[in-house]
Amino acid sequence: MALANLDLNFAYLIAQSSFVSPPDIALLGIVLIIAIIIYVFLSSCLHTILINLGQPNAWFAWVPLLQTWAMLEVGDRSPWWIIGLFIPFVNFVAIFFLLSAFINMVKKLDKNPWFILLMIIPLANFAVMYYFALM
């Protein structure tokens, strides 16, 4: 019966918790700002790539699921493989098609597709995307 009288809304819980301190909130804000900067950089690189390849809907680069749609479309793969990304075990095949679309996209840019392997290395992936965006 005592549990029925508790106010469990989110603001109340955050205000009453002792594990969230102002430095934690500041750190969360810094991480959020860095994530937004990374998103804007990678989206602008993809936007430039799509413009260079003559994609009529280059603004797709700024919308998360439409980024994948545009990459599959430019890479001569069916964009409907996006649905496969959400189905267990089918997503492995969909990732293969997404990777092959990215390889085709890089070949259309007349760049070496082996640079895609550098995308695995942290921080090098930003330089590689910038390199692909240069024309």
Tally the domains of the chain.
1
pTM: 0.78
Residue 27, domain member (yes or no): yes
Residue 10, domain member (yes or no): no
Q: Do residues 94 and 84 touch, judged by C-beta distance below 8 A? A: yes
What confidence tier does 17 reach under pLDDT thresholds 50, 70, 90? low
Residue 120, domain member (yes or no): yes
Q: What is the spatial distance between Cα 111 and Cα 134, in angstroms, rounded to a whole number?
A: 10
Residue 33, domain member (yes or no): yes
Question: Does pLDDT of 61 surpass 90?
Answer: yes
Residue 77, domain member (yes or no): yes
> pLDDT per residue over 113-127, tens digit each?
898 888 888 899 999
Q: What is the spatial distance between Cα 69 and Cα 101, in angstroms, rounded to a whole number?
A: 10
Owning domain of residue 58: 19-133
